Structure 1
Amino acid sequence: MNRKTSLNQIAEAAGVSLSTVDRVLNRRGGVSPDKEARVLEWANRLHLDRVLFRGYLRVLRVAVVMQSPKNPFYRGLRDAFTDITAAMPDMRINCFLHYVEVTDAAATTRKINQIAESYDALIVVCPDDPQLSDALRRISARMPILTLVTDLPDSGRIAYVGPDNRQTGRVAGELMGRFLGPAGGELLILLGMHRIIGHEEREMGFRSVLRERFPACAIVDSLESGEDQARAGEVVYRALRRHPGVRGIYNVSAGNTAIAGTIRTLGLAQHVVLITHELTPERRAMLREGVIDAIIDQDPKAEVRRALEVLGRHFNRTETEVRLEEPTPFNIFIRENCPPAW
């Protein structure tokens, strides 16, 4: 098909001028998001040469707001954004990571308000806070927002991408009940923050399974680490001194190295079942050693790929259908199926 003819057809179908189509394809700016989206949609529908079309697409700038990569899971998430973005060049999406202190909701809100002006979309991994959700809802009127890993349902987001956290908590409860057996025992739960919806949902799922099927298991304390790894070890140490009969710990978030150190210090490595999340290199080693008994891993690479596919679909960068409400899968690892180090 003649390129000039193609551009005229796109302009007519999209209800814009030929110069507007030219501005969109040559990334000259000055075109409203609504008109740009119509041009890109009709370019797809009319089958403008794909190689030519991709080369003319404006590069989308996406801000990713999340915790510092000092947390091993977020280190893996950071690496996933680098790897997956490079593996999907046809999307022409560049991701820029911004780290926030999740315990300071006001500072996080200010930062998001500041950076939103410079981007085409936001991907947010943050605790629930009314002030933050209000700010995101206002921003969502002019750009798409995705929540990743943990949801913010009142943020105006176009989709949540991540696991069903209540289900992963139920899996943790099932594993704990089966590991401890009919005798059951006292349990500790450690959350990063109760305001992180994903953590709260995991705790609810964990409690519900124990209540339904393992009545001999009794939760004696629910603790919070503030997503601080050293503090995780400290609060678990104090709890184990208060409750020497504890037989199981469910750690929803960070701090497993410190918790494992506490368990070893107290001589409980062979007596306490430890179940946690995310197969980081450090946790893989502890799983092989037997200090951690099971890890529920949510696969950050799969989540990042889904997030970029959702944005690609939103901006008409792909024709691939994406099921927005479908949770991302997770895996269960014990010592016997622990994969080798990468």
Structure 2
Amino acid sequence: MTNRTTLIKIAEAAGVSLSTVDRVVNRRGGVSPKAEAKVLEWASRLNLDRKIFRSHLRNLRIAVLMQSPHNPFYQAMRDAFSDLSTTLADLSLTCFLHYIDVTDIPATRKKIEEVAESYDGIILTCPDDPRLSDALRLISGRVPVVTLVTDLPNSGRIAYVGPDNRQMGRVVGELMGRFIGPGGGDVVIVLGMQRIIGHEEREMGFRSVLRERFPNCRIVLSLESGEDPARAGEVVAAALKNHPGIRGIYNVSAGNVAIAGTIEEMGLAQEIVMITHELTPSRRRLLRDGVLDAIIDQNPRQEALRAIEVLGRHFQRAEPKGSETEHTPFDIFIRENCPALDFR
């Protein structure tokens, strides 16, 4: 199929003139944003000579939707996308970060619908809520979606990129059981949000290992912080007062500083095994001080890079590929292999 034939078919499908398509392709200007978006939409939907057509266009615009960088992990993720400018240029992609409140589902859905109108692809991390999956399925036929860090399997996404969260939870369960020892004890799980699939899968893996190998470690509470660090400290303080036999805390998400402060104030730092995720500077200090016992760390730079590469491959293929999973590796840190201060 010639390039001109491709442009004619796009013009017919989009309901615009051939000259309009030509202006978009050759970046001559004079085309309204709405018309340009329609041309790009139909080029993607019809999948006509995608590689040839896209090579004439401006860089593809990718919307990255994630939590605020006030969360240290998402701060690292933000920096990772910023640092990958060379890779983005090589793939003719430009990423634009949009911050969402994962506790506000209607606002998150509205943001998804907004970016779908003006971006060529979406990378996002958000809760597994039917309203969000429905919105993504409606747009996934024309705008490729990649889920990052935590999956939305019913969203129509072309790929999930991130760790095997169930395996990470199993690793934590193994560490918790061994650190507490044969005598066992009560254990508390602190989730950010139950409906974030990554958190749910970590809890499932954790529970499975304790049930299989460490039956004396009894999970007495599964709490939610709502991704609010201060609330994480509050719910743990209440749990410790009501359950004096607690020997282990698995914090799946944010709030480690607040939880550690509560443990230290109650004089329990040497009596409670605490394990969490992501080796931020503050958590590294808690690990070296012996308040935290282990940290399971994923690599946000590698995750960002793989998500970008997935979209790059998608746009370069002449034919679309089915849904895929790109599991990324993770590391285990204890006090003895804690990296130096300039780790991040």
Which band: TM-score by shorter chain?
0.7 to 0.9
Aligned-partner SS, 2:122: strand
Q: Which residue of 1 aligns with 2:170?
A: 170
TM-score, normalised with respect to structure 2? 0.86
Give a deviation string over 1:155-188, Cα, whole Å, max 9, x none.
1101111111100000000000111111111111
Aligned mates of 2:119, 2:83 — CA distance in 1:
20
11-20 or 222-231: which moved more? 11-20
Q: 1:43 to 1:138 in 2, by over 3 A?
A: closer
Whether 1:191 and 2:191 are equivalent positions in the alignment is yes
Q: Which residue of 1 aligns with 2:333?
A: 333
Matches within 5 A, 1:72-83: 72-83=72-83
Whether 1:299 and 2:309 are equivalent positions in the alignment is no
Give a deviation string over 1:31-59, Cα, whole Å, max 9, x none.
64249954453589xxxxxxxx6xx5520
Aligned-partner SS, 2:249: strand
Q: Which residue of 2 aligns with 1:33?
A: 43
Q: 1:124 to 1:99 in 2, by over 3 A?
A: same
Q: Which residue of 1 aligns with 2:150?
A: 150
CA deviation after TM superposition for structure 1 residue 324, in Å: 3.2
Q: Which residue of 1 aligns with 2:33?
A: none
Aligned-partner SS, 2:132: helix
Q: Which residue of 1 aligns with 2:59?
A: 59
Q: Which residue of 2 aligns with 1:50?
A: none
Q: Which amino acid letter does the alignment assign opposite residue 277 of structure 1? A: H
Q: Which amino acid letter does the alignment assign opposite residue 187 of structure 1? A: V
Whether 1:138 and 2:138 are equivalent positions in the alignment is yes
Whether 1:121 and 2:121 are equivalent positions in the alignment is yes
Aligned mates of 1:291, 1:326 — CA distance in 2:
33
8 A Cα contact 1:13 1:42, kept in partner: no
8 A Cα contact 1:229 1:256, kept in partner: yes
Whether 1:11 and 2:3 are equivalent positions in the alignment is yes
TM-score, normalised with respect to structure 1? 0.86
CA deviation after TM superposition for structure 1 residue 191, in Å: 0.1
Give a deviation string over 1:52-78, Cα, whole Å, max 9, x none.
x6xx55201111111111111111111
Q: Which amino acid letter does the alignment assign opposite residue 164 of structure 1? A: D
For the aligned residues, what is the CA RMSD?
Answer: 2.7
Gaps of 5+ in 1: 1-8, 45-52
Q: 1:273 to 1:171 in 2, by over 3 A?
A: same
Identity of aligned residues (%): 65
Q: Which residue of 2 aligns with 1:314?
A: 314
Aligned-partner SS, 1:186: strand
Q: 1:317 to 1:273 in 2, by over 3 A?
A: same
Give a deviation string over 1:255-301, Cα, whole Å, max 9, x none.
00101100110011111111000111111111111111111111111
Gaps of 5+ in 2: 10-17, 29-35
Give a deviation string over 1:109-163, Cα, whole Å, max 9, x none.
1121122211111111100111111111101121101111101111110111111
8 A Cα contact 2:160 2:326, kept in partner: no
Q: Which amino acid letter does the alignment assign opposite residue 180 of structure 1? A: I
Q: 1:193 to 1:323 in 2, by over 3 A?
A: closer
8 A Cα contact 2:159 2:325, kept in partner: yes
Matches within 5 A, 1:143-292: 143-292=143-292
Q: Which residue of 2 aligns with 1:3?
A: none
Q: Which residue of 2 aligns with 1:6?
A: none
Aligned mates of 1:201, 1:191 — CA distance in 2:
11
Aligned mates of 1:208, 1:188 — CA distance in 2:
15
304-313 or 65-74: which moved more? 65-74
Q: Kindly indicate whether structure 1 or structure 2 has the higher relative contact order, using CA contacts under 8 Å at least 6 residues apart.
A: 2
8 A Cα contact 2:45 2:142, kept in partner: no
Aligned mates of 1:36, 1:19 — CA distance in 2:
19
Aligned mates of 1:109, 1:310 — CA distance in 2:
23
